[in-house]
Structure 1
Amino acid sequence: MTVASALPQDTQDIVRNLQANCERPFDDALAMPPGVYTSAGFLALEQERIFKKEWLCVGRASALPNAGDYLTTTIADQPIVVLRGEDRSIRAMSNVCLHRMSVLLEGRGNVRRIVCPYHAWNYALDGALRAAPLMERQAGFCKAHYRLPQIRTEVWQGWVYVTLNEDAPAVAQQLAELSALIDDYGMASYVETFYEEHTWNTNWKLLAENFMESYHLPMLHRATVGPHSKLEEMECPPGLPAFNYHWITKEASLPIGNAHPDNTRLAGHWRRTTALLAVYPSHFITLTPGYFWYLVLQPVGTDRVHIRFGGGLAPEFIADPQAADHMRALKTLLDDVNAEDRRGVEAVFRGVQAPLARPGHLSHLERPNYDFARYLAARLVT
């Protein structure tokens, strides 16, 4: 594999340094070089070779229960709307009007028609143009010739993914091994009970790496989940091409972290085992027998990351008479954990910019970070 010579020299050097580290055996591996996090050229390469080509999660299908429910996102400068159609299917389309190219919808909501805020051209939920005020006066205009471009979308385990790449293998195909590992949890049936969006002042990969490894739990999270985290009991097996994962088997800090008495899907130690899942490049899930929470990351420059943050409960806890209390307890815990994580990853970003910053050796519990680095190198080196 070679680094494209058309890249700026400093970007080539960063990619080569990353590649060289990934060629080291894991027991001698180092953290990624600082330029991976601070270089605008490296981020531009990520946008071109990763975000434009990979499947990217945009949230839970259950967040779109009704016809006309929608959410919006942007991938590599392409605004996208994902919505539930009148036929109950979930589809993704360009979120740009076919007239004067205004963005159509913002945020999340529900619509009966997609109406352009600029000139009121409006589209059906399948993207077909239904009305264009006064355009019948133009002989060259034909309404039937206008339909919003469709974008590939798939639902896997209750998650909605989109991609701009027509040649990308199906999500279910790429994540078949992950499905086999976690099927007994029944993640598709978990119910989202909260959703928020945030922007933190750090590089997206620092937050990704923070999620992937549990080495930091006893220290960074010493006021929350740290005391319940026994490093000696954690398992960090080698990752696979599209994802990495690790397990934590423990008595949970919240009752909902272990399986509900009515849960018949899980047996033995699995009733108290948490799976931490990193679906490349930017979807991260903590899956416990009783609840889940997730992050979907999108870089906004080298120094900021947009975060889709949500979570919810397994169906047995949703049906429990104490469901409302469980929801409040979960959200309170996660808000505290997120505050600790934010302080941690923003401090690391300040550190990687230092002239004397140097990456050190990874611990055996940071195997997911090593696998993530190798994923990045494989996509960025041609």
Structure 2
Amino acid sequence: MTELRKKLQELAALPADRPMGMPGAFYTSPEQFAWEKNTVLRNGWHCLGRQDEISNPGDFFTVQLLDEPLIVVRGDDGEIRVLANVCRHRGMPLAEGRGNVKRFVCSYHAWMYGRDGALLRAARMDNAGFDAKSCRLHGHNVQIWNGFIYCSLNGDAVPFGTESQPLDDLLAPYETDTFRVVHSAEENWHTNWKCLIENFMEGYHLSVVHPQTLHGYTPTGLAKKSVSGRGFTSYSANYPNGIEPRGIGAPGLTAEEKQRSTLFARFPTQVASQSASLLVSLSIFPIAADLIRVKWTMSVYGDDLDEDTIQSRIKLWEEVNTEDREKLERMQIALNSQHAQPGPLAGDDYEGTIRDFQIWLAQQDADLEAPIQAAE
């Protein structure tokens, strides 16, 4: 076990009232990133987007998850599949961007695949060793949760279970699965994937980094830690008294639920903000120790918000993301310093979610280390 991984175990074991952050190398080391890429990231469930992004048979979009190019497509049977975006002939990508197709046709030698990944045609393949049935596209593990599409590159990954029931119960009144996508965008951020998880999931920075965009609605002083468990954490960004609720939302919402934004993370790489009428989700696709691809979607509840309001919310979130990105990219540079050593974290309501993430990462690491130690 490397010194960084030992430090993770050490800090995760600290008393809850004495939390500490990790040293800068945890976020800058190429060796640490390589370890994460082959373990916690490859084994984890990653949010790829919303299921209503591909509402009709043939609708698809593409993503790059670690080293795997993927096609997320709705089949003729209505099922959502995540297929390897790699032709079985010579490895050419089959699709890019998003759209709707009847067939996926390779631009190199015109091999044709169905929307379920089956090879339908391969011109002039007459040799005896060719078997079309053995040349279907690989299908990755998929699960749907609250309208989100998740994929794991580990064929043996266990789907979400009852361990996340507290988070399910927290979101149930909002009817998260019924929200419809109104905006999707992607961009590269020069930061470590863990930095964005930690930034999004703590309310300590809200009033400082977002004085004009968020402080009026979700000031730091009203942040409250919410439910957490194996694989997730959350906190409530509560609105001040007298602030109008952000939309009406589902009929079962209480007045308290309408007066807050619930921010949650599904580890390793999804963070989201759920309010009465608005759902914003960031899917993080790690590329290198200091580079990520961020896909963010905005969804709304029914017809709660008119078009002008939707456009103003998109603009607001673009500004919020820009503010966070600026800080994280500056911090990424400073984290290379020899003086970027562990520092104390704030209390549970402000940075307790970072400790939850730290503990989860440490547990994942410990679970991987146990068989190695047993073998020795």
| Cα offset, 1:97, TM superposition | 0.9
Which of 202, 220, 229 is 2:218 aligned to? 229
Residue 78 (1) aligns with residue 65 (2)? no
Match of 2:266 among 257, 266, 279: 279
Q: Deviations over 1:259-286 (max 9, x none)?
A: 41x7412022112121000110000110
Alignment-derived partner of residue 275 in structure 2: 288
Distance in 1 between the 2:134 and 2:7 partners?
Answer: 50
Other-structure match for 2:151: 162
CA contact (8 A) 1:34 1:358 kept: yes
Distance 1:252 1:294, change over 3 A: farther
Matched, 1:220 2:209: yes
**Aligned equivalent of 1:68:** 58
Return the letter of the residue paired with 2:82.
Answer: A
8 Å CA contact 1:206, 1:348 repeated in 2: no
Q: Which amino acid in structure 1 is aligned with residue 19 of structure 2? A: A
Contact 2:174–2:250 (8 Å) recurs in 1: no
Q: How far apart, CA to CA, are the structure 2 residues paired with 1:371 and 1:140?
A: 53
Q: 1:337 aligns with which of 320, 329, 340?
A: 320
Query: 1:8-37: per-residue Cα shift (whole Å, max 9, x none)?
Result: xxxx01111111111111211111111110
Pair 174,114 (structure 1): closer, same or farther in 2 beyond 3 Å: farther
Relative distance call for 1:253 and 1:113 in structure 2 (3 A) is farther
Residues paired across the two proteins, number: 365
Contact 1:184–1:265 (Cα < 8 Å) also in 2: yes
> In the alignment, which residue of structure 2 is the partner of 1:380?
365
Pairs within 5 Å for 1:93-172: 93-135=83-125, 137-172=126-161
Higher mean C-alpha deviation, range 84-93 or range 372-381:
372-381
> Which residue number corresponds to residue 373 of structure 2?
none
Q: CA deviation at 1:129?
A: 0.7
Distance apart, 1:369 and its partner CA: 0.4
Letter matched to residue 281 of structure 1: P
| C-alpha displacement of 1:329 | 1.0
- Residue 303 of structure 1 corresponds to 290
Work out which of the residue numbers 342, 351, 357 in structure 2 matches 1:366. Answer: 351
Secondary structure of residue in 1 paired with 2:36? helix
Aligned partner of 1:308: which letter? K
CA distance in 2, matches of 1:202, 1:337: 16
Is 1:238–1:368's contact at 8 Å kept on the other side of the alignment? no
Give the Cα separation in 2 of the matches to 1:34 and 1:252.
Answer: 39
List alignment gaps of at least 5 residues for structure 1: 4-11
Tell me the secondary structure at the aligned position of residue 142 of structure 2: strand
- Separation of aligned partners in 2, 1:203 and 1:274: 25
Q: CA deviation at 1:254?
A: 9.0
1:199 pairs, out of 178, 188, 201, with: 188
C-alpha distance in 2 between matches for 1:24 and 1:165: 31
Contact kept, 8 Å, 1:238 with 1:371, in 2: the verdict is no
- The alpha-carbon distance between structure 1 residues 161 and 173, as it changes in their structure 2 partners (threshold 3 A), is farther
**Offset from partner CA, 1:284-324 (integer Å, 9 cap, x none):** 11000110111111111111111011112111415xxxx11
Q: CA deviation at 1:237?
A: 3.9
Q: Contact (CA 8 Å) 2:167, 2:227: kept in 1 or not?
A: no
Does the 8 Å contact 1:237/1:367 carry over to 2? no
Offset of residue 238 of structure 1: 6.0
Quickly say closer, same or farther: Cα 1:105–1:252, change in 2 above 3 A. farther
* DSSP-derived class of the 1:326 partner: helix
Residues 15 and 164 (structure 1), Cα distance of their counterparts in 2 relative to 1, 3 Å cut? same
- Retained in 1: the 8 A contact 2:94–2:105? yes
Aligned equivalents of 2:226 and 2:365: distance in 1? 24
Which residue identity does 1:162 align to in structure 2? C
Give the CA deviation at 1:168.
2.0
Selected match of 2:177 from 179, 182, 188 = 188
CA–CA distance in 2 between the matches of 1:129 and 1:230? Answer: 55
Report the AA paired with residue 282 of structure 2: L
Q: CA RMSD in A?
A: 1.8
Paired AA for residue 144 in structure 2: V
The residue type paired with residue 359 of structure 2 is R
Q: What is the distance in 2 between the residues matched to 1:174 and 1:75?
A: 25
Distance 1:22 1:334 in 2: 32
Q: Secondary structure of 2:225's match?
A: coil
1:91 equivalent in structure 2:
81
Check conservation: 2:166, 2:228, Cα contact below 8 A: no
CA drift of 1:167 comes to 2.4
Shift of 1:41: 0.7
- Gaps spanning 5+ residues in structure 2: where? 370-376
